[in-house]
Amino acid sequence: MKFRFGLRDLMTEALAGIAARPSRLLLTTLGTVVGVAALVSTVGLGQTASGQISERFDQMAATRVVVEPDEMEGRDGSIQATRLPWDAPDRVGRLAGVASAGIYAQVDIERARVRGLPIHDPRGTIDHDIPVVAASAGLVDAVNGVIGTGRFFDRGHDERGDDVVVLGRYAAERLGITRIEAMPTVFIGDRPYTVIGILDRTSARTDLLDAVILPMGTAITRYGLEAPDALEVRTVLGAAQLIGQQAALAIAPNNPSLLSVTAPPAPSSLRADVSTDVNAVFLALGGLALLVGGLGIANITLLSVMERVAEIGLRRSVGATRRHIAGQFVAESVMIGFLGGLIGAAIGVFVTIGVAVVQDWTPLLDERLAAAAPLLGALIGLVAGTYPAWRASTIEPITALRSG
Amino acid sequence: MTTTDPDHGASQPVVEMIGIQRSFPGPPEVEAVRDVNLRIMDGEYLSIVGPSGSGKSTLLHLLGLLDRPTAGTYRLDGVDVRSLSERRRSMLRGERIGFVFQAFHLLPYRTVLENVALSMLYRPISRRDRIDRARATLERVGLSHRLNFEPTTLSGGERQRVAIARALAAQPTLLLADEPTGNLDSGNADTVLDVFDKLHAEGLTLAVITHDVDVSYRADRRVRIADGTLTEQWDDVPTPEAAT
């Protein structure tokens, strides 16, 4: 059997009811719009600000994400392992919020020694026990490295496998190299490498300062490097948690669980401390605006019921029950509330983005909030519409039809 | 013409009122309708005449299930409506009765077609069927060229014909008209009454409530209500107020 007056009919009638007076509709939604916009932008700005505030405490820690290969015990008891792909920096580089990324690996040079001179000293006094590592071009930027003199190698060196090195500051001191204008050479075993720069400092992976740094491509061709040890990612402020969630999937879509990702914890403790006072004021204002908005909807819907007494009578005369009448008015006020919530959420999101752009911040907003805001508006409409709808349902068709 | 048309009288009456009484609690208590006995047979065209304040509106509301009698029995299509719940009464009203009001009661901002389809909204009829039937009914009252107009742009006679189409589209067993020509000039009133004649000829049962004697003479049976009491008018001579 077909249903009488189904949901679609209800929606059609309610829509026609509210669309009959567009200007009034806009005024009615105003309170909800203001309230929801205030709530969304307050929460959005709070989240955005707390993302920026961590900058002052420890910018590096808040933006560093490290990905390393990991092992996992498979279902059959075997150990599953994975490797970081060589193009991992490119893979994460596509994610929004990544500022730079580079790979790092320790190089096994076997029994070879690092020397500043091409001389075999039988006593070994000029041999140094200096570690050799390999890096991709992007690594220095990813760890906030600063080159003291010269330059870091680029993709070209990397791809060609050029015999160049960058020295960490302490490694350079031990090798007695302070200037690079004369293109000094260091020897790993018997093989000469041209020094093109000296790394002065980094804020992460400080072992680079003690090491001789080879381009990744050179380490592969000369020493048979099999896979990178780690991927260093520097994110824009506030994006570290997000990138932490996404990085493994971006790098190894087939088995992301085999990668271990280290990301800073969410700065929830910071968020709690900072600007709670401001938030409380704005949230209170938003709540007040919502209350006023709800009362506005109730008021206008009640007025609308009084104006449409004849329509109610007519609907009753063609077979509408009290429930049908009440349902229509509730549906109308729910739609008004939903519409107000929708517009308010959009305004709130734009305010958040606008302020973030002006302040040069990264806008942050929980998307669930933006989705929930129209539903909050609909809920307000539901509550506000209940009394007018009940009033409408009690109108006797006789009185309704006599008027007019 | 007779009170019971033999062609239709074989079936049961559409309306059967026995000892109907409706009083409004006071003070002072008002007896708007007292001891009304009325039968309307299938296919009959009845007019109920009376001056204002005579109780004819109350009678219309009772006939249309918009009001409940304080005493008496009312059977509509053989269904005793006294025991029905409010919900069942609403549904029965939507199924069996078509209303035509003096003030038309068309919804502004909705097209003529939508206004007519509205009468089937609360019944188990699909949306497509509602629109199709509304279109067909508007054709019957000669308004096919006005389907997508808004009622405010129509003349009074056209509006009342839309209202008639709305009442007819739900295929009621009884059409109740309350002063259908009250807001119309004589030209427009005639077109509306012509539509009634045509519908009567097609076999529809009509009850027209009016204070206008000329309108009442278009019906084939007239009853008069005064001070809440109903009397049959037996004279077939079209002279006003046969007060013998």
Core vs surface per residue B37-48: b (16+ CB within 10 A) or e: ebbbbbbbbbbb
**Amino acid found at B130:** R
pLDDT band at A124; cut points 50, 70, 90:
low
Task: Note whether A307 contacts B: Cβ–Cβ < 8 A.
Answer: no
Lowest-confidence segment of A5-9, A116-120, A151-155, B57-61 by average pLDDT: A116-120
Q: Assign A328 a pLDDT band (cuts: 50, 70, 90).
A: very high
Say whether residue A3 is in contact with chain B using an 8 A CB cutoff. yes
- For the cut 70, the answer to whether the pLDDT of residue B217 exceeds it is yes
Neighboring chain B residues of A398 at a CB cutoff of 8 Å: 61, 66-67
pLDDT of A383:
94
Q: Do B67 and A398 touch (CB under 8 A)?
A: yes
Tokens 């896979």 correspond to: A227
Give the whole-angstrom CA distance, residue B15 versus residue B205. 10
Each residue's pLDDT tens digit, A24-48: 888 888 888 988 998 888 888 877 7
Residue A61 is predicted with a pLDDT of 66
pLDDT at B115 over 80: yes
> Which residues does chain B have within 8 Å of residue A5's beta carbon, measured at their own beta carbons?
121-122
Evaluate if residue B100 carries a pLDDT over 80: yes
pLDDT in tens, B32-46: 898 899 999 999 999
The stretch A163-174 carries a mean pLDDT of 89
What residue ranges in A160-201 does DSSP mark as E strands? 164-168, 185-188, 191-201
Count CB-CB contacts under 10 A for residue B200: 18
**A15 to chain B, closest Cα gap in Å:** 12
Residues 6+ apart with CB under 8 A from A87: none
Average pLDDT, chain A: 84
Q: Does A151 touch chain B (CB under 8 A)?
A: no
pLDDT band at B6 (very low <50, low <70, confident <90, very high): very low
B93 in A contact zone (CB under 8 Å): yes
* Alpha-carbon gap, residue A66 to A243, rounded angstroms: 10
Q: Are B230 and B18 in contact (CB under 8 A)?
A: no
Would you call A318 and B121 a contact, using CB atoms and an 8 Å cutoff? yes
Q: Which of A61-70, B83-92, B234-243 has the highest mean pLDDT?
A: B83-92
Q: What is the pLDDT of residue A60?
A: 57
Q: How many CA atoms does the CB half-sphere of A301 hold within 13 Å?
A: 34
Which residue in chain A has the smallest CA separation from B67? A398
Average pLDDT over residues A310-327: 91
Q: Which amino acid is at A381?
A: G
Least confident of A156-170, A252-266, A342-356, B220-234: A252-266
The whole-angstrom separation of Cα B74 and Cα A266 is 75
**B117, B123, B127, B132: CA torsion to nearest 10:** -50
Alpha helix (H) ranges present in A113-212? Answer: 139-142, 155-160, 169-175
Q: What pLDDT is recorded for position A107? A: 87
B76 has pLDDT over 60: yes
How far is it, in rounded angstroms, from Cα A216 to Cα A235?
A: 22
Name chain A contacts of B183, Cβ cutoff 8 Å: none
Residue B9 has a pLDDT of 44
For A128, the token pair is: 């140094």
Q: Which position has the higher pLDDT, A74 or A94?
A: A94
Query: Nearest CA to A300 among A46, A116, A28, A53?
Result: A28
What is the identity of the amino acid at B152?
Answer: T
The confidence score (pLDDT) of residue A53 equals 61
Mean pLDDT of A80-89: 82
Residues of B in contact with A1 (CB under 8 A): 124
| pLDDT confidence bin for B243, thresholds 50/70/90 | very low
**Which of B90, B109, B123, B130 to probe by mutation at the A interface, max A CB count within 10 Å?**
B90
In the block, tokens 């992301």 appear at A256
Q: With pLDDT > 90 as the criterion, what percentage of chain B qualifies?
A: 47
| Confidence band, pLDDT 50/70/90 cuts, at residue A265 | low
pLDDT at B1: 42
Report angle CA A114, A120, A121 to the nearest 5 degrees: 95
Instruction: Taking residues A239-263, report their average pLDDT.
Output: 83
Higher pLDDT, A311 or A282: A311
CA closest to B119 among chain A residues:
A318
pLDDT greater at residue A241 or residue A402: A241
Q: What is the pLDDT of residue B242?
A: 43
The domains of chain B, with CATH numbers, are 44-66+85-233 (3.40.50.300)
Give pLDDT, residue A238. Answer: 76
Residue B138 in this model has a pLDDT that exceeds 90? yes
